[in-house]
Amino acid sequence: MINIKENNKNVNEFNLLYDLVGWGAYDDAITQKALDNTYYSVSVYDDTKIIGYGRLIGDTICFLYIQDVMVAPLYQGQKIGTLIMNKLLEKINQIKKENPDLRVYLGASKNKEKFYEKFGFVKRIDADLGYGMILK
C-alpha cells in the first residue's frame, strides 16, 4: 500500500533514491545536514519501501525552492511524482495564505520540464522573467 510521511530525515532512504535516479549519492554527513535544514519534505513508501521523495527549501515565507523530486525507476509513470508535487503544493498554498507574494522556484532537470508544467510552472525564458541562472 502506498503511504506518505512528512518531514522524514532518513539519510539512507534519501541517498538510496538519489542513487537510483542516477544522481549519485552524497556523503551521509552532507545529506544529514541538507535534510536537517530542509523546511518540508514528503517521502512516499510502498508499504515500508521508500519509492519517492520531494522537498522544499527556502526562507519559509518569501522564497521557496522545490528540490529533489525523485521517484524510483520501477515506480515512475504511476503518478507518484504527481502525489509528491501535490503534497508540496498543498504546503505552498498554506504559506500563500500568510504571504500571497510567496515566490516558488525550481530547477528542472533536462527534459523534465513538461512534468513540472503540469503543475503550473513555466520556463522563465518563456515568461519574460529573464533566465534562471546557476553558478558553475
Ligand X SMILES: CC(C)(COP(=O)(O)OP(=O)(O)OC[C@H]1O[C@@H](n2cnc3c(N)ncnc32)[C@H](O)[C@@H]1OP(=O)(O)O)[C@@H](O)C(=O)NCCC(=O)NCCS
Q: Which residues bind ligand X (CB under 6 A)?
A: 21, 69-71, 76-82, 108-109, 111-112, 114-115, 118
Separation of alpha carbons 58 and 131, rounded Å: 20
Comparing CB distances to ligand X, the nearer of 80 and 102 is 80
State in angstroms the smallest separation of the CB of 129 from ligand X: 18
Burial class (CB in 10 A: 0-12, 13-18, 19+), 89: middle
Residue tagged 539512507 (cell numbers): 12
Q: Find the helix packing angle between 28-36 and 11-20, rounded to 10°.
A: 110
State in angstroms the smallest separation of the CB of 107 from ligand X: 7
Comparing CB distances to ligand X, the nearer of 97 and 125 is 125
Three-state DSSP state, 93? helix
Separation of alpha carbons 2 and 93, rounded Å: 24
State in angstroms the smallest separation of the CB of 53 from ligand X: 9
Residue number of the CB atom closest to ligand X: 81
Separation of alpha carbons 125 and 11, rounded Å: 35
Comparing CB distances to ligand X, the nearer of 39 and 65 is 65
State in angstroms the smallest separation of the CB of 130 from ligand X: 20
Comparing CB distances to ligand X, the nearer of 82 and 99 is 82
